[in-house]
Amino acid sequence: MNKLLKKAYARFWVPVMGRFVSKLIPLFEGKPPEKQPTYDINGDKCK
């Protein structure tokens, strides 16, 4: 069950909520972000 929740968090929750929050970045900071946000919480894609 714990493994299932970890996968659901990494594959669903982080990308969905991350995209939602990234839409709010210009409202908080007053300008769009310089770099595109990444949703890789495990660091797998950086290698």
- State the pTM of this model: 0.60
- Tell me if 37 sits within 8 A of 22, measured CB to CB: yes
- What was the pLDDT predicted at 27? 92
Q: Tell me: the pLDDT tens digits for 1-47?
A: 889 998 888 888 888 888 898 889 899 889 988 888 777 777 776 55
Q: Contact at 8 Å (CB) between 38 and 45? A: yes
Report the candidate in 2, 1, 14 with the shortest Cα–Cα distance to residue 45.
Answer: 14
What is the token pair recorded at 36?
């595109």
Structure tokens at 20: 């939602």
pLDDT at 4: 92
